[in-house]
Amino acid sequence: MTNTGAMLGGSIAMVFLALWTGSSADQQPPPGRGGGRGAAVRQRKAVLAWADTRNGIAQHDSVSHALAVIERLGYESGAYDTYIRTDSNIIAKQPLMTDGKPASGGPSLSNVDAIFFLGHREIQLDARQKADLLSFVKDDGKGFVAGHTATTAFASWPEFGELLGARYDGHPWNTAYGTVINEDPSFPATKPLPAAFNITEEFYQASEFSRDKIRVLLRLDVSKMPPNPELHRTDGDFPLAWAKTYGKGRVFYAAFGHAAGAWDNPDIYRMYFEALKWSLGMTEGDATPRPFTPSDHR
């Protein structure tokens, strides 16, 4: 059993290595961690993979696998180190321990370069934490990459909607097979994807978005889906992934990743990995908003 695991691990590592060298041939892979020879000055970017799911009834079984995959992508490529947290104490520029004393070690909004967010619903943050989170992106120019349930988060907090770019409006077909249109094959996260592709996913419907504020990268081809009374827009605009800026920071959201297996799909994990690298400023991509043009990319 462990031998199989080793072989799998090895082959996955090779795929990641190939991805890394292929996508940024100009960058040398950073040296390894030096065989545990003590703490060194941080050479790599740091990502906080934050998934506080304590306040929701629908806790996705995929979340832990997603966090582990995000960690592994950064670790094996050398692009970033990851702190995994499912609590929100660290959402602060000066985080506190449970007893109110300053935190010891670990991540904070002062020492990470991007957040990968997979939380949902009403996460408990106090006013200071909320201000710090917004400032982390807006003023400090840090990255914010969010997946799937992220649009369900903080419904009572308008500024979070501004940060993320949209809100959750159900998933009309539940988990279904559909065709995804790649509106921007030049953006780093969607560059590896074909002009159109088919995939099974719980397609989240976005609401309260404006194409004046987000650059849609992927959308669902609604014309190929069966009629559904929960589909609320009649113009066929159904964004599934977008990029935007929020102040000085870079923001990316994609609806993909409902099932744990989705995070084993190279099309999906590579998209999030490239989005993280873009949000970290390691690659460039155009997040300028563009209007909806239904005839494009069919």
Binding site for other proteins (CB under 8 A): 1-2, 4-6, 8-9, 32-39, 49, 52, 54-61, 63-65, 67-68, 71-72, 75, 81-87, 89, 97-99, 103-107, 120-122, 152, 175-177, 198, 200, 259-261
Query: Given CA atoms 85, 87, 90, 96 in this order, what sign does their dihedral have?
Result: negative
User: Which strand (E) or helix (H) includes residue 270?
Assistant: helix 266-279
Q: How far is the CB of 68 from other proteins (least distance, A)?
A: 4
Using CA atoms, how far apart are residues 148 and 44, in angstroms rounded to an integer? 27
Q: Any alpha helices (H) in 30-85, and if so which ranges?
A: 62-77
Which candidate, 166, 189, 155, 186, places its Cα nearest to that of 238? 166
d(CA 164, CA 171): 18
In angstroms, give the least distance from the CB of 48 to other proteins. Answer: 10
Tell me the two tokens of residue 150: 């992220």
Sheet holding 239-246, edge to edge: 80-85, 45-50, 114-117, 143-147, 249-254, 239-246, 215-220, 175-182, 196-202
According to DSSP, residue 224 is labeled G
- What the block records as the tokens of 168 is 């959750």
What residue has token string 């099309």?
267
Q: Please state the closest distance from residue 88 (CB atom) to other proteins, in A.
A: 9
Cα three-residue angle 164-124-102, rounded to 5 degrees: 105
Q: Residue 45 is inside which H or E element, if any? A: strand 45-50
Least distance (Å) between residue 247 CB and other proteins: 28
Determine the Cα–Cα distance for residues 42 and 113; give it in Å rounded to an integer: 12
Report yes or no: 206 and 238 within 8 Å, Cβ to Cβ.
Answer: yes
